[in-house]
Amino acid sequence: PLRIAVLASGRGSNLAALLAACERGELAAEFVLVASDKATAGALRLAQDAGIPTLVLDPKAYPDRRAFDLDLFGKLAASGAELVVLAGFMRILDGEAIAPWAGRMLNIHPSLLPRYRGLHTHRRALEAGDLEHGASVHFVTAELDGGPVVAQAVLPIEPGEDEQRLAQRLLPLEHRLLPAVVALIAEGRLAWRDGTPWLDGAPLAAPMRL
Active site residues: 109
- x/- site string to ligand GAR, residues 83 to 122, per CB under 6 A? ----xx-x-----------------xxx------------
Return the H-helix or E-strand segment holding 144: none
Asked if residue 134 lies in contact with residue 154, where contact means CB atoms within 8 angstroms, the answer is yes
- Encoded one letter per residue, x for contact with ligand GAR by CB under 6 A and - for no contact, window 142-181 reads --------------------------------x-------
Options 12-20, 72-80, 158-166, 183-191: segment touching ligand GAR (CB under 6 A): 12-20
54 binds ligand GAR (CB under 6 A): no
Whether 86 contacts 103, CB under 8 Å: no
Q: How far apart are CA 12 and CA 54, in angstroms?
A: 13
Nearest residue (CB) to ligand GAR, 14 versus 152: 14
The site for ligand GAR, by CB under 6 A, has a size of 14
90 is in an annotated binding site: yes
Amino acid sitting at position 208: M
| 205 CB-contact burial (10 Å; exposed 0-12 / middle 13-18 / buried 19+) | exposed
169-191-54-167 Cα dihedral, nearest 10 degrees = -10
| Identity of the amino acid at 209 | R
Q: Is residue 34 close enough to count as binding ligand GAR by CB under 6 A?
A: no
**Residues engaged in binding ligand GAR (CB under 6 A):** 8, 10-14, 87-88, 90, 108-110, 135, 174
